[in-house]
């Protein structure tokens, strides 16, 4: 059973940056693809970014491409989301998630979730 704990959220002005972190437990962390999702008020949870087991491939939603960067440190069992040029529409609860697979295929493959961290971007 994996546990995922997010941190790094907060309040930031538009154009600013934040770095989210996700600490994972379990011996098989490096086996699985990891991802970030977000849920804005009144909306469904949406895919943001994913990274395969080795960190060699990354994937992004069109809305964050060029602004956000996902990375991982398998030795430390950590996943990161660097968010630059933040916009008010990026305001959401951000969730770290683990896939059933070692490479990214689809958002539906993510089945283990953290508790989320709030990101608020003011205009």
Can you give the pLDDT at residue 27?
A: 81
The pLDDT score that the predictor gives to residue 54 is: 94
Phi and psi based region of residue 76 (left: phi greater than 0; alpha: psi -120 to 50; beta: remaining): alpha
Q: What is the reported pLDDT for 122?
A: 97
Q: What is the pLDDT of residue 28?
A: 87
Give the burial string for 36-75 (b: 16+ CB within 10 Å, else e).
bbbeeeeeebebbbbbbbebeeebbbeebeeebbbebeee
For the chain, residues with pLDDT lower than 70 are none
pLDDT per position as a tens digit, 48-74: 999 999 999 999 999 999 999 999 999
């Amino acid at each position: 059973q994996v546990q995922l704990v997010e941190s790094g959220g907060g309040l930031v002005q538009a154009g600013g940056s934040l770095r989210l972190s996700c600490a994972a437990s379990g011996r098989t962390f490096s086996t699985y693809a990891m991802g970030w999702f977000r849920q804005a008020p009144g909306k469904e949870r949406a895919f943001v970014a994913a990274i395969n087991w080795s960190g060699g491939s990354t994937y992004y939603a069109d809305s964050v491409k060029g602004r956000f960067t996902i990375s991982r440190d398998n030795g430390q069992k950590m996943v990161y989301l660097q968010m630059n040029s933040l916009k008010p529409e990026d305001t959401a609860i951000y969730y770290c998630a683990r896939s059933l697979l070692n490479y990214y295929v689809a958002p539906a493959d993510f089945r283990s979730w953290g508790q989320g961290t709030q990101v608020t971007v003011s205009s």
